[in-house]
Amino acid sequence: MLRHYLEVKAQHPDALLFYRMGDFYELFFEDAQRAAPLLEVALTARGRGTENETPMCGVPYHALETYLGKVLRAGLKAAVCDQMEDPATAKGLVRREVTRVITPGTLSEPGLLDGKEENLLASARFREDGSGAVAFLEVSTGAFFVRRCADAAEALEDLELLRPRELLVPAGTELPPPIARWVERGGVCRSTLDEENVPLGRRAAELLQRQLGVATLKGLGLEDGEAAVDAAAAALAYARDTQRSDLAHVRALAVRDTADALLLDPTTLANLEVLRSLREGGRRGTLLAVLDRTVTPAGGRLVKDWLRRPLRDPDAIRARHEAVGELVAEPARRERLRDALGALGDPERWAGRAVLGTMAPREAAALRDGLGRVPAALAELGTAASPLLRELAAADPLADLHAELHRCLVASPPASLKDGGVIADGLDPELDAARSIGRDSKRHILAVEARERQRTGIGSLKIRYNKVFGYYLEVSRANQHLVPDDFIRRQTLANAERFVTPEVKELEVAILGAEERQLTLEEEHYRRLLAAVAARAPEVRRLAELLAAADVLAAFADAASRHGYIRPRVGEPGGPIVVRDGRHPVVEALASEPFVPNDLELDGERAQVVVLTGPNMGGKSTFLRQAALIVLMAQAGSFVPAAEAEIGVVDRIFTRVGASDDLARGESTFMVEMIETARILHHATAQSLVVLDEVGRGTATFDGLSLAWAIAEHLHETTGAKTLFATHYHELTELAALLPRVVNRTMAVKEWEERIVFLRRVVAGSADKSYGLHVARLAGLPATVVERAGEVLANLEAGEYDLAGRPRLARSRGGGAGAGADGRDGREGAPSAAAIMPAQLQLFAGAEEAVARTLRAADLDRLTPLEALNLLHELRARLG
């Protein structure tokens, strides 16, 4: 047995081998030493103390799924080696085979999967020029798609966005450094495919053609030999090998293009908290938590995909809005639809398990019951006026598959096929006969028991059963003197004796033979049923996809009704974004007080760049994020939190907010900020929406201000992207006087008794100060610190410097006078900084250039004295 174990282990060196022995799965040698602490089981040994001592540990076979979960959460793989024949009838060593290799990216077990989360296997291939492709396969559902990448950075975006559980690379291949660092940092399981098993070039194309049932890949937009074909074929080959299956439910491969959807990079998704909270990492406090009102697992997975990849086609967006609007307008029909969908379950994954041969009887019954609710859901969709809802209503309800499942299965089957009672009565006369004997066994046993009690006079005599002795008669110690001579003793216990008789043995043979025959026949029928379901798996998946879309549309309608969202008008790409009384969907949902709405106007003619100033805690960040979320929601197909909205379709949303670093890569907070900003400036277009919050604050004031000014100018003059730029650099408000498409907005505040009241309202204009000391006071800084900060601020604003050009700070208790009237700084013979330092140059020459242009253009010969005086006043005001 150990020789065989080592042979199997040699075939799966990178997996923990679970080797079935009776009622346990055992692990030996290094696997046992590695697994015992992980599985929290005792590490024991065979031949302890001898030279052949073999470390081992084991887990009960019925609890295997629980222990596999621990292995997979640790990013490891497991190979399951099962007994392929009955030990009772096997001659010599029981034949065993690896029936499946379970890896983090190829899971299908329902107990190990979150119904509303994808479980993706990724496969990456790169060429010498740096270009490549990443393929993604969801084994449990059959979803399969590939994305071409211009470079490793683009591939990394997809990996960070979709967060696969496992990354597959060919053996001997080095990953590009950015992706290698991500693998090390993210804890994703990295796997390799042996060189002899790696399908490349023509072999890769042929594998995909056979799997997808097509004669050529050109219809999918793929060419033989390209990285996308190799990546997809590798993922398919690996999954087929680990699952020991042909993956018949994988019948389509989608090629995703950047032009198909609004692009959201991982940084933007994180900053906007679309799928995960920045603070807790979960769903609470996210847009997903607000909009995910889905009632099916497939709908829960799809709504995430819609939020990750909003639409860019205006007509497709309007079609979703029309469908949502109809479901909003008819709440009774919406609830009937949601009730029908809520009973659907997860047919997509159940059909996938049928293909893999692992669908349990209760899952088959759940599929049957779910298909039984499909006609009701399609009927609700069929009465709709919306073209999209009518398109979903045209789905095939798979009535024949539902009928077959209903014909074959009992109403409530047991958890395991080995428990019997899975196949319905009337399907097979031979099965019915075997089952009848089994059912009547209790009557026969009770009859024998009654006769023996009467014959022996032992009132407590009972007939029992166990797997070791079969059926036996049990007599207590107190009645041993009444046992007749024809009772054959089998076992002695502390308080009883166990016996058999010829009649009991004959009864046992009849009953056990019938039960065994019953189980054999049930397994044959059930395997045929699984094959029937597997053959229809692609159709089940298509039906599930359509009903998932209906679920998401109904969820959007339910959220709109609950929160008072409205249907936005969808403009053409690059059109204006105008929102009246917009609200932040997440803050509003969680706030304990009424949310203050705000207007937004962005276009390419008058208000392309909005410079937003105002105090901390005034609401700038909320306003910025809500603008981006409203656009994202609209293009995903959802209604939006506003009184009125017009959304010109955008191609990308970029955000640069918050402070973070990447010390492992030697990148400071400011470096990360500049890297993210550089990416925006390189990739944003005139159809993009850019949200910048406090860019340039991570370095010296003049450095940061200069960069912020130049970045804003670049977005205005070169990129043309619609931009919201929140800043504490009040100097940036001067851009509105110099650039035609820059406007100033500020967060309104009210000062009252040396305190400020945040009004949360965005108004035209700019802030005159930052109110940082007020916010510090609200945060609970000691009063002495806040007072001293006020004195320092007054001196800085008054321009008092020492000889080195540093602020010369007066002490609050009379020490350190300011500069005297003679230009001295209060020290004997020392001139003030103002007396020895030249006047500081203007930071930006833009205002002076504008004044010069105005002077050159003025017709001095025609100016009246009053007009000339007014011109001088205006020019001086522009110079500050």
CB neighbour list of residue 218: distance below 8 Å, 6 or more residues apart: none
Q: Of 268-282, 382-396, 657-671, 705-719, which gets the smallest average pLDDT?
A: 657-671
Check residue 90 and give its pLDDT. Answer: 78
DSSP assignment of 325-370 equals: HHHHH-HHHHHHHHHHHHT---HHHHHHHHHHT---HHHHHHHHHH
- What the block records as the tokens of 374 is 């499909």
Say whether domain 2-102 belongs to CATH 3.40.1170.10.
yes
Q: Which residues pair with 145 in a beta bridge?
A: 136, 254
Check residue 696 and give its pLDDT. Answer: 76
For residue 829, pLDDT over 70 is answered with no
Same fold, 113-256 and 429-527: no
Phi-psi region of 753 (alpha: psi -120 to 50; beta: other; left: phi over 0): left
Say whether domain 429-527 belongs to CATH 1.10.1420.10.
yes
Query: What is the three-class DSSP state of 149?
Result: strand
Residue 866: pLDDT band (50, 70, 90) is confident
Q: What fold does the segment set 569-777 form as a domain?
A: Rossmann fold (3.40.50)
Check residue 121 and give its pLDDT. Answer: 95
> Do 244 and 135 contact (CB within 8 A), yes or no?
no
Residue keyed to tokens 């099962």: 82
Phi, psi of 145 (to 5 degrees): -150, 165
Beta strand residue intervals within 583-631, DSSP E: 598-602, 609-613
Check residue 624 and give its pLDDT. Answer: 94
Check residue 834 and give its pLDDT. Answer: 37
Over residues 512-523, the mean pLDDT reads 86
Q: Which of 259-273, 363-377, 739-753, 837-851 has the highest mean pLDDT?
A: 363-377
The pLDDT mean for the chain works out to: 86
Check residue 820 and give its pLDDT. Answer: 37
Q: Which of 101-105, 185-189, 313-317, 475-479 has the highest mean pLDDT?
A: 313-317
Check residue 52 and give its pLDDT. Answer: 82
For residue 580, pLDDT over 90 is answered with yes
**Largest Cα–Cα distance of the chain, in whole Å?**
143
Check residue 416 and give its pLDDT. Answer: 87
Length of the chain measured in residues = 880
For residue 4, pLDDT over 80 is answered with yes
For residue 797, pLDDT over 80 is answered with no
pLDDT in tens, 518-567: 888 999 999 999 999 999 999 999 999 999 999 999 999 999 999 999 99
For residue 184, pLDDT over 90 is answered with no
For residue 855, pLDDT over 50 is answered with yes
Greater pLDDT, 426 or 754: 426
Check residue 659 and give its pLDDT. Answer: 56
Per-residue CA distances from 387 to 341, 553, 639 (Å): 20, 13, 18
Q: Of 355-359, 658-662, 692-696, which gets the smallest average pLDDT?
A: 658-662
pLDDT in tens, 627-645: 999 999 999 999 999 999 9
Over residues 121-131, the mean pLDDT reads 90
Check residue 769 and give its pLDDT. Answer: 67
Question: Which of 377, 392, 425 shows the shortest CA–CA distance to 522?
Answer: 425
For residue 277, pLDDT over 60 is answered with yes
For residue 409, pLDDT over 60 is answered with yes
Name which CATH class applies to 113-256.
alpha beta
pLDDT in tens, 156-171: 989 999 999 999 987 7
pLDDT in tens, 24-71: 999 999 999 999 999 999 999 988 778 888 999 999 988 898 899 899
Q: Where are the domains of the chain?
A: 2-102, 113-256, 429-527, 569-777, 789-836, 846-878
Q: What is the Cα gyration radius of the chain?
A: 37
- Sheet of 121-126, strand order: 189-193, 166-170, 121-126, 132-138, 143-149, 254-256
Over residues 599-622, the mean pLDDT reads 89
Residue 832: pLDDT band (50, 70, 90) is very low
Check residue 809 and give its pLDDT. Answer: 47
Over residues 851-855, the mean pLDDT reads 79
Share of the chain above pLDDT 90, in %: 53
Share of the chain above pLDDT 70, in %: 91
pLDDT in tens, 741-777: 999 999 888 877 667 777 889 999 887 666 777 777 7
User: How many helices (DSSP H) and strands (DSSP E) are in the chain?
Assistant: 29, 27
Over residues 816-829, the mean pLDDT reads 37
Over residues 299-317, the mean pLDDT reads 96
Check residue 333 and give its pLDDT. Answer: 95
Check residue 89 and give its pLDDT. Answer: 76
Residue 475: pLDDT band (50, 70, 90) is very high
